[in-house]
Amino acid sequence: MKKFFADRTVGFWLGLAGAALALVSDLVWLIIDHADRTFDLLAFILILVGALSFALVVFTKFEFAPILPAIFLSVGQALALNVILPSVSDLWNGVNFIGGNGVLGAIFAVIFIVCTVLEIVSCFMKERK
């Protein structure tokens, strides 16, 4: 296992941090928010696939591997935002028209955006020394 991490650069560690954060926050999103209006199953699956697809970066030397997590996380995060923003707009406007937990949705939206940005940044950096 040590050989997988021996010759890694900052780009790899940024991508690993984004994938780990996405995996943990996606599972917490499922546990806490699965019955709310701010949860989308397809977004959950895409974020999960994006986080797990970082294993290709760890265990292979494919040149295209770093872009796969970024693609899946970007699409999953966009779908999550599509579901979350109506509830957040209720918070901004001070009404309860749409329903759902907008605060929790906003927290997860920010976390997913951070994960996506980390993955996109790591795509433009070298993964190995």
Please choose, from the candidates 75, 66, 68, the residue with its C-alpha nearest in 3D space to the C-alpha of residue 47. Answer: 75
Q: Give CA separation, 43 vs 7, 72, 75, 94, in Å.
A: 33, 9, 8, 27
Side-chain-side CA neighbours of residue 25 (13 Å): 27
pLDDT in tens, the chain (129 residues): 677 677 888 988 999 999 999 999 999 989 988 777 778 899 999 999 999 999 998 888 888 889 999 999 999 999 999 988 888 888 888 787 777 777 888 898 999 999 999 999 999 988 777
Give me the sign of the Cα torsion angle 70, 118, 47, 111: negative
- The reported pLDDT for the residue numbered 129 is 77
- The reported pLDDT for the residue numbered 1 is 63
Q: Which residue ranges make up each domain of the chain? A: 8-123
CA distance 8 to 5: 6
Displacement of CA 38 from its chain's centroid (Å): 15
pTM of the model: 0.88
